[in-house]
Amino acid sequence: MKNLIVQKYGGTSVGDIDRIKNVARRVIETKKSGKKVVVVVSAMGDTTDDLVEMAYAISENPHKREMDMLLSTGEQVSIALLAMAIQSMDEEVISLTGAQCGIITSSRHSKAKIDEINTERLEKELNSGKIVIVAGFQGVNKDMDITTLGRGGSDTTAVALAAALHAERCQIFTDVDGVYTADPRIVPTAKKIHAISYDEVLELASLGAKVLHPRSVEMAGKYNVPLEVKSSFNNNEGTIIGEVDLMEKVLIRGISLDENIAKISVMEVPDKPGIAFNLFSLLAGADIHVDMIVQNVNRNNVNDITFTVALDELQNAVEIAQKFAFEVGAEKVEYDKGVAKLSVVGTGVVANAEVASKFFEALYEIGVNIQMISTSEIKISCIIDKALGKEAMKHIHDKFNM
């Protein structure tokens, strides 16, 4: 759709009434610049966390369908209040839930994926001159049950709408004014990146950087949706995310630290074909995402298999690993929550051998032991002691003169 901008505002951007009014003014400014505007909004502040806490105060294992019913209300509060704020400023606006704006998803509650978007209602409201406010993070399945897209799902909602409506661009407004070389709250010397490729920011997001949700970046790259990350609290220039051939090629684009992980080791697993497949198919069947995997060198016909998972999936993953260990005759299962994943990302990682050397040298200089290593064309990741993660991040940032 010509002259259409999709804007997404996160929970901190609409954290209280004054901030909601600030967002309303920003949206109206965009409308008055001659653009049609679709605004995707997250739940206010800590609303989602508060709702989760209430659910678990009632049940140790709340049903996922009912959790989706509960959590989706957070965004509905935000869109209604933002619509009221815009109306009070004499602009035409309408708020829509995920269902009302035609977002159809799979039936996997709490982790649904968008199957299709019927844009008829959206186009009708936009063509009538209204600003459209959409509840992020949610949709409905084909049975009309409310579903949610998982944490960070509002980013995915915004990009999906931008793709479906062929928007000019998708702007993600947050509490930082762009993508930085490292988390500026941890590394004060971190620099804002003016432009970055889809692949590089996808790696950073997947490795723990919290500016964008990985699924949203993946979707933006797939449908070639121009992304822009900006602050909702100032008018500073943000970060443009787009095609790699438009970007200046540098060795290291950014550093990320993911402290939301745990390491699981299955000790002395029989060394025979199909063992790894059995373990990881069980984990996949439980919808547990496994990240780094290491299998040690065979000794006495047994191996140790070590892998990492998100902290919130640790309990389920350990239970599955213990059942697997019992069935195949492995010795035991160990886990460690005191680890973090430290990564460097950039198009020059593989092409320049100096990057790996300098990365590991930096860790050696401050006495950090490496527990696991993983590499790809544009990143090097390692598992280290969580207590040393922030210090290591700062030292590597200095080491590469970022």
Mean pLDDT by 10 residues, the chain (402 residues): 94 94 97 97 93 95 95 96 98 97 95 95 97 97 95 92 96 89 89 88 77 87 93 90 61 89 95 92 93 82 93 95 95 96 85 85 96 89 96 94 82
Tell me 370's DSSP state: P
pLDDT of 152 reads 79
pLDDT score of 252: 83
CA distances from 163 to 111, 128, 219, 220 (A): 20, 21, 8, 8
d(CA 366, CA 302): 34
Alpha carbon distance 180, 184 (integer Å):
7
Q: Could you give the CA distance from residue 42 to residue 9 in angstroms, rounded to a whole number? A: 6
Three-class secondary structure of residue 345 per DSSP = strand
Whole-number Å distance between alpha carbons of 305 and 195: 39
d(C-alpha 12, C-alpha 246), whole Å: 32
Scanning 135-288, the segments in alpha helix (DSSP H) are 153-164, 198-206, 214-222, 275-285
Helix (H, G, I), strand (E, B) or coil at 191: coil
pLDDT the model gives residue 246: 42
> What pLDDT, on a 0 to 100 scale, did the predictor assign at position 205?
80
What digits encode the pLDDT tens for the residues 66-106? 999 999 999 999 999 999 999 999 999 999 999 999 999 99
- Rounded to whole angstroms, the Cα distance separating 182 from 188 reads 9
Look at residue 369 in the predicted model and tell me its pLDDT. 96
Dihedral sign for Cα atoms in the order 390, 392, 394, 400: negative
- Secondary structure of 20-84 in the HEC alphabet? HHHHHHHHHHHHHCCCEEEEEECCCCCHHHHHHHHHHHHCCCCCHHHHHHHHHHHHHHHHHHHHH
Structural domains of the chain in order of their starting residue, each with its CATH number:
4-174 (3.40.1160.10)
302-341 confidence digits (pLDDT tens): 899 999 999 989 999 999 999 999 999 999 999 999 999 9
Residue closest to 207 by CA, chosen among 174, 242, 255: 255
CB 159 within 8 A of CB 166: no
pLDDT of residue 214: 84
Q: What are residue 37's phi and psi, to 5 degrees? A: -130, 130
